[in-house]
Amino acid sequence: MKLVHWLVTAPIALVLVVFAVSNRAEVTVTLWPLPFELQTWLFLVVLVALFVGFLIGGFAAWISSLRRRREARQQARRIEMLEREMAGLRAGTAALPATHD
């Protein structure tokens, strides 16, 4: 499993490093209408934008799965209750004397 992780992670890291080295030009980032200006490298702007998009996408996926997780918890509680009930019924049945017709 670690090998698969590194086979995926290493090429991505290599692409990010090559991208960062290739895009070291300085750019000015402004947020209109705010009087805010930031001088930074192009690769930093792009990578931060990708990271923020990744976080927003993860948050959106987490929000969309709330209902399914709630239903799974409810089903797990129901299964646990039914298993306890079934164990109680088995214990009650085992205590009854066997009758032969």
Q: What is the pLDDT of residues 41-76, one digit of tens each?
A: 999 999 999 999 999 999 999 999 999 999 999 999
Measured distance CA(29)–CA(40) in Å, rounded: 8
Are 64 and 50 within 8 A, CB to CB?
no
Helices (H), ranges, the chain: 2-22, 42-64, 66-95
Average pLDDT of the chain is: 92
Range of the domain at 72: 63-94
Residue 101 belongs to a domain: no
pLDDT confidence of residue 101: 60
- Phi, psi of 37, rounded to the nearest 5 degrees: -135, 140
Is residue 100 one of the residues assigned to a domain? no
**Residue 91 in this model has a pLDDT that exceeds 80:** yes
Residue 96 has pLDDT above 80, yes or no: no
Is residue 100 predicted with pLDDT exceeding 70? no
Q: How many CA atoms lie within 13 A of 3 on its CB side?
A: 0
Per-residue pLDDT at 1: 87
The number of folded domains in the chain is 2
Q: Is residue 58 part of a domain?
A: no
